[in-house]
Amino acid sequence: MKPLPDHRLGRLAGALRQARLRKGMSREQAAALIHVSVSTIQRAEAGRTRPTWPVTHALTDALGADLTEAEILWKRAGGPPRGTTPTQAPRLSLVRNAADLAAVLVRAYEEDGRPSLRTMEKRAQRTASQFGRMGRMTAWRVIHRTYLPRSAGQLQAFLTACKIPPHDFWQWTLAFARVQAHEESVKRNRPRSGTSTPTPERLRLTAEAAKADMRRAGLIPLDPYPGAQNPWAAECAKCGSLSRFRFSAVRKGRGCRVCATGQEAA
């Protein structure tokens, strides 16, 4: 039997292989036991790619191996590529503010092997009806710490895109709630300026009107309304390209640059 390399993927593959051998099972028997193909078992034990968590969980459980250890090995197998320094982030139970949350989200992305934005979008799309949409632009902004999820659903969409097991979501939801409570506390204690602020009803009406104007311009907003002068992530309904627009410019007639360039070329 070919020896496995001594790295994260190799250690996970070795643990799965040893669990099967201790049971005295062939790959064919293990595949039949959890209703997958033999090639799926072969790939899981080869140490070249990380098997999905459902396959790892089902195989570990069926073979009577330690699920906790398997989960640790599986998460480590998706760690950052060799030669990169992982983001410094606190333990999930110690997350208290927006900076902490931003760091642990980036670390989750790194531990999944830094998947492409397209891959993340496809993963999140499978559960969009449950958690909401996670577009490529939003994922990019979370990864680069310029944006944080605005709701528990959006948070869970990002976690899905990073292949965080659903049974871990409750820990992330608690951390998210602590961050929200901290941010609200900061706002309450912030000194008031002499200028008046719009009421929540006025802000909601303004945001809804802005979204309606964007859609009339052929643009689908991906994030909450940031204000007339701030960049707003949106998708072109015609060509599907993602970009950032200033609402003030859209109201003046400026739309998708990709479509405009195509029309000029024609």
Band (pLDDT 50/70/90 cuts) for residue 48 is confident
Which pLDDT score is estimated for 30? 93
226 has pLDDT over 80: no
Which amino acid, 33? L
Q: Which residue has the higher pLDDT, 181 or 199?
A: 181
Q: Picking from 20-34, 198-212, 244-258, which range would have the lowest pLDDT averaged per residue? A: 198-212
CA distance 153 to 174: 13
Band (pLDDT 50/70/90 cuts) for residue 80 is low
Which pLDDT score is estimated for 200? 57
Q: Picking from 82-86, 102-106, 234-238, 254-258, which range would have the lowest pLDDT averaged per residue? A: 82-86
Q: In 10 A of CB 41, how many CB atoms? A: 26
With beta carbons less than 8 A apart as the criterion, state whether 103 and 89 touch: yes
Which pLDDT score is estimated for 263? 58
Question: What letter does residue 75 receive in the DSSP assignment?
Answer: H
Please write the tens of the pLDDT for every residue from 58-79.
999 999 988 888 888 887 776 5
Best-predicted range by mean pLDDT (1-15, 82-96, 175-189):
175-189
Q: What is the mean pLDDT of the chain?
A: 82
Q: Which residue has the higher pLDDT, 213 or 265?
A: 213
Query: Model pTM greater than 0.85?
Result: no
Which pLDDT score is estimated for 262? 65
Of 45, 18, 10, the residue nearest 31 (C-alpha)? 45
CA distance 22 to 64: 10
Three-class DSSP category at 102: helix
Q: Picking from 92-96, 133-137, 139-143, which range would have the lowest pLDDT averaged per residue? A: 133-137
Sheet holding 219-221, edge to edge: 219-221, 231-236, 242-246
Which pLDDT score is estimated for 84? 58
Of 171, 170, 108, the residue nearest 134 (C-alpha)? 108
148 has pLDDT over 60: yes
CA distance 160 to 53: 12
Band (pLDDT 50/70/90 cuts) for residue 204 is low
What DSSP string describes 87-134?
PP---GGG--SHHHHHHHHHHHHHHTT---HHHHHHHHHTTHHHH---
Band (pLDDT 50/70/90 cuts) for residue 26 is very high
Domains of the chain: 8-77 (1.10.260.40), 92-187 (no CATH), 200-265 (no CATH)
**pLDDT, average across residues 144-164:** 90
**pLDDT, average across residues 190-210:** 63
250 has pLDDT over 60: yes
Band (pLDDT 50/70/90 cuts) for residue 213 is confident
CA distance 25 to 207: 60
